Amino acid sequence: MSRRPLFSQIFARSPIAPIQEHMKVACSAAIKLPEFFVAVIKSDWESANAIGDEISSIEGEADDIKRKIRANLPRSLFMPVSRSDLLDLLKSQDKIPNRTKDIAGLCRGRKMKFPGELGNLMHDFVASSVRAATMAMQTLDELDELFETGFGGREIDLISDLISKLNEAEHEADEKQHEVQMLLYKMESEINPVDVIFLYRIIDWIGDIADNAQAVGNRMLNLIAK
- List the interface residues with other proteins, window 171-200 (CB under 8 A): none
One of 37, 114, 125, 147 touching other proteins (CB under 8 A): 147
CA distances from residue 5 to 10, 73, 164 in whole angstroms, order as listed: 10, 21, 45
What is the rounded distance in angstroms from the CA atom of residue 178 to the CA atom of residue 180? 5
One of 46, 153, 189, 225 touching other proteins (CB under 8 A): 153
CA angle, 99 then 27 then 221, to 5°: 95
Question: In the complex, what is the shortest distance from the CB of residue 125 to other proteins, in angstroms, rounded to a whole number?
Answer: 32
Question: In the complex, what is the shortest distance from the CB of residue 144 to other proteins, in angstroms, rounded to a whole number?
Answer: 8
One of 6, 71, 194, 225 touching other proteins (CB under 8 A): 6
Contact of 208 with 102, CB cutoff 8 Å: no
What is the rounded distance in angstroms from the CA atom of residue 66 to the CA atom of residue 21? 10
* Cβ closest to other proteins, residue 69 vs residue 122: 69
- List the interface residues with other proteins, window 126-145 (CB under 8 A): 145
User: What is the phi/psi pair of residue 81, to 5°?
Assistant: -125, 160
- 9 lies in the site for other proteins, by CB under 8 A: yes
Segment contacting other proteins by CB under 8 A, of 1-9, 24-32, 112-120, 200-208: 1-9
CA distances from residue 10 to 6, 43, 84, 145, 148 in whole angstroms, order as listed: 7, 56, 21, 22, 18
One of 8, 189, 190, 193 touching other proteins (CB under 8 A): 8
* Cβ closest to other proteins, residue 36 vs residue 147: 147
One of 15, 52, 97, 207 touching other proteins (CB under 8 A): 15
Contact of 81 with 223, CB cutoff 8 Å: yes
Q: Amino acid identity, residue 174?
A: D
Query: Exposed/middle/buried for 59, CB within 10 Å: 0-12, 13-18, 19+?
Result: buried
* Cβ closest to other proteins, residue 60 vs residue 152: 152
One of 45, 151, 198, 200 touching other proteins (CB under 8 A): 151
Binding site for other proteins (CB under 8 A): 2-16, 74, 76-80, 145, 147-155, 158, 226
